Amino acid sequence: MEATEKKTIMHEEIGTKKPCSSCKWQIADPTNPLRGQCTVNRNAMGGVWKRWIADVANVTCSQHMEGKLSFREHV
């Protein structure tokens, strides 16, 4: 139960292959690109998130796939 919950919540995962830095929901902190902010306002669950990311390279969550950048998003 706890493990499942952890996946949906932003969490640290050292060396993750799906970091916040490659997620479109992430906005880099202009003064420190290693930090950022995650703003999700149209995820599948309809939730709204706005939270700080302390380390964009080693933090992820299960919304990463949904937030993955794709060509369609650049239209």
User: What is the contact surface with ligand SF4 in residues (CB under 6 A)?
Assistant: 10, 20, 23, 25-26, 38, 40, 59-61, 63-64, 67
Q: How near is the Cβ of 63 to ligand SF4 at its closest, in Å?
A: 4
Question: Helix (H, G, I), strand (E, B), or coil: what is residue 21?
Answer: helix
Strand stretches in the chain, DSSP E: 11-12, 26-29, 32-40, 49-53, 59-60
Extract the tokens encoding 18.
């799906």
Q: Which is nearer to ligand SF4, 64 or 73 (CB)?
A: 64
Q: Which is nearer to ligand SF4, 9 or 75 (CB)?
A: 9
Q: Which is nearer to ligand SF4, 3 or 26 (CB)?
A: 26
Beta bridge partners of 53: 36
